[in-house]
Structure formats: structure tokens, C-alpha cells
A and B are shown apart, each in its own frame.
Chain A
Amino acid sequence: MSKKTIPIVKKIMSANDQIAEENQEFLSSKNILTVNVMASPGSGKTSLILRTIENLSNQYKIAVIEGDTAPVTIDSDKISNLNIPVIQINTGGECHLDALMVRNGLEQLDLCNINLLIIENVGNLVCPAAFRLGEHFSIVIASIPEGDDKPYKYPNIYRGIQSLILNKTDLLPYIDFNIDYFKRGIEALNPGAAFFPLSCKTGEGFDKWVDWLKTRIQEKK
């Protein structure tokens, strides 16, 4: 018997990254701006997506990929009620979407003339950060009740995002949340990320987010 060391030096995530790259090329070739929406459960991902659709659907064609751990269609039903093409990916208990799941989703979606594809990731602040999907950029939705220390506790999810939404600002009078402390954590991790404090319930601050997203869609067209 002989022993031998085989040098490899390969990214362990490279299989996923490869498919993510192919997804992105496919979406770019169709001029579909694709956004990966990540957040913890209950932060308001679906509310944000619904309100964004309401604000943009008269100008742009939008499609949605819904990632869920269980085969319940609560979220995707809300979206299809708005006559938006939606496909639900049931991850079968997995805590994140990966590039292959998204590729399968893309094959089932009618992407004709679509300008914007929103991918709602599984509610989780840890795992989705490790899996690129093929998106053009990612956003995180944080919310006031989660507390202002989350960027410090879950740094990975905040790194590499282009935009951070702080939802449920209507709850600020009732909850101790130091926006400056929160923002400092984000700036350290991600200098220059666009920051949108807003409320999906009252609509406060929502215009700025929508305007920013419109600019991104125009750039892609």
C-alpha cells in the first residue's frame, strides 16, 4: 500500500456556484432582473413582495419563485391572486434554496416578456447566505421586532447584499430599536448598501424602495 496526497484546492460550493452562474447568464440573456430576497421568518418577505408587485405591475411584468420548506401554498396563493406567474419550490425541509432548485423553477415558469423575477428564499438568516442562486443581486429584509443587533449576530447574510430593507417601522414607538446601532453594523459589513426603512403595513418609506428598484430594472432593460 502506498499513501499519496492529492492537492485539490477547490471551492466546496463550486458545483452550486457553477449552476448559479448559468442561471444568471440565462436570466441576463432575457433581460430579467433577478432579486434574491432573504430574511428571517416573519420579517415580511411576502408582504414586501406583494406591495412591490402592486406598485410595479402596471409598468413591468413580474414573476415570482417562492421557496418554502413545507408544501403549503399560503404565500404563492397570495401572489397568484394578483395574476402574477409564480412557482413554488418546496425544499422538503431544507433550510435554503440552491441554484439547482431555482433552475428547475425557471424551467416551469412562463418568463415571456418578464422584466423582474423575485425569488423569495426560505426564511432563515444563516443558510441562504451560503448558496448563490443566479440572482443579479440580493436583499435582506430585517424588521424592527427582530432587534437591532442582528447584523452583529448574523454577519454573513448581510455581506454582499445590495439593499437592506428595515420593515415594520410603524412599530418603532413600541420597541427599543436603535437604528444608528443597526446601521453601523450594516455599514461595517457592507459599505454602500442601499438602506430603506419602511413599513409594508402603512406604506411609509415604500416609495424610495420602489424608485430604487425601478432604476435597477431600467438599467437591466
Chain B
Amino acid sequence: MHELAVTESLLNTASDYAIKNNAQRVISLNIIIGELSSIIDDSVQFYWDIISENTICEKSTLIFNKIPAKFICQSCSEEFKIKGELRPCPVCGSMDLRTTQGDEFLLESIEIEKGLEKIDE
């Protein structure tokens, strides 16, 4: 449900960069979502279609690049991925794990369309 606030933040960031770069419109946004980031991409998409209307981002495509959760075992230093439910270290069985990847929620880049006069920069 917090995706509305998150999507507004996404729209503000993308619009800022688009305007700074003299875009006519935004074609697409590359978004990185870690599996542990508690963001639902379908929900972001739903809000995006509504709130991006009449902005420079209208009709742009959201491209979600999902990255899995990775952990490092604090007991034996094994690094491994977990999908779904939490499990102990596959090597030594310890539950003393630290997250090394999966929290990310980033706007990586945007693709924009520039006006004709801006080709030769």
C-alpha cells in the first residue's frame, strides 16, 4: 500500500532528471528492485499509470530489474542466495546471517526523447 508514496518519489526523481536533460518525454525507466525491498512492482505500475498522466513521464514504460536476496553466513563465511522463506546456511546450518544484497530500490537510468534542436550537443 505504501507504493503510492514510493511511486510519487519515483515520478519526482525521473521528472527532475528528464527536465534537466531537456527531454521532450521519458520513454522508459530502469528500476532495480531487491527481493527484500518490500516493493510490489505491479502496484507501482498501477499507480504510475495514473500519476504520470499529464507529466513528462506520461506513457513511459517501467522496466523492473529484480535482484535476489543474498546472505553471508557469519559463522563460516559462505555466501548464498535465498528465494522465498528464510533458511539456515546450507553449509554449516547457522542462522547467523547478514544480508549483502536484496535491499536495493533504485532508479538506475531513464531513457528520454530529445527535441530535434538538441541532437548536436
Rounded to whole angstroms, the CA-CA distance of A95 and B13 in the bound complex is: 22
Q: How many Å from the CB of A83 to the closest CB on chain B?
A: 34
* Complex: chain A residue closest to B6, CB-CB: A12
A184-B95, A185-B86 known; A3+B111 contact, CB < 8 A:
yes
Q: Total interface residues on B, using CB and 8 Å?
A: 44
Cross-interface CB contact of B107 among A10, A152, A189, cutoff 8 Å = A10
The number of inter-chain residue pairs (CB within 8 angstroms) is 115
Q: B88 to chain A: which residues have CB within 8 Å? A: 188
Q: A95 to chain B: which residues have CB within 8 Å? A: 1-2
Rounded to whole angstroms, the CA-CA distance of A1 and B18 in the bound complex is: 15
A188 & B97 in contact (Cβ 8 Å cutoff): yes
Q: Flag whether B99 is at the interface (Cβ < 8 A).
A: yes
Q: How many Å from the CB of B33 to the closest CB on chain A?
A: 9
Q: Flag whether A131 is at the interface (Cβ < 8 A).
A: yes
Interface residues of B in 1-54 (CB under 8 A from A): 1-2, 4-6, 9-10, 12-14, 17-18, 21, 23-24, 27, 31, 36-39
Q: A188 to chain B: which residues have CB within 8 Å? A: 86, 88, 95-97
A9 & B5 in contact (Cβ 8 Å cutoff): no
Rounded to whole angstroms, the CA-CA distance of A191 and B13 in the bound complex is: 35
A6 & B110 in contact (Cβ 8 Å cutoff): yes
Rounded to whole angstroms, the CA-CA distance of A11 and B5 in the bound complex is: 14
Q: Flag whether B109 is at the interface (Cβ < 8 A).
A: yes
Rounded to whole angstroms, the CA-CA distance of A105 and B116 in the bound complex is: 48
Interface residues on A, range: 35 or more
Q: Flag whether A2 is at the interface (Cβ < 8 A).
A: yes
B107 & A4 in contact (Cβ 8 Å cutoff): no
The interface stretch among A52-60, A110-118, A122-130, A199-207 is A122-130
Instruction: Identify the interface centre among B21, B108, B116: most chain A CB within 10 Å of its CB.
Output: B108
Rounded to whole angstroms, the CA-CA distance of A3 and B24 in the bound complex is: 10
- Chain A residues packing against B (C-beta within 8 Å): 1-16, 94-96, 98, 124, 126-127, 129-131, 151-152, 155-156, 159, 184-185, 187-189, 191
4 tightest A-B CB contacts, nearest first: A127-B2, A95-B1, A188-B95, A156-B38
- Chain B residues packing against A (C-beta within 8 Å): 1-2, 4-6, 9-10, 12-14, 17-18, 21, 23-24, 27, 31, 36-39, 74, 85-86, 88, 95-99, 105-116, 118-119
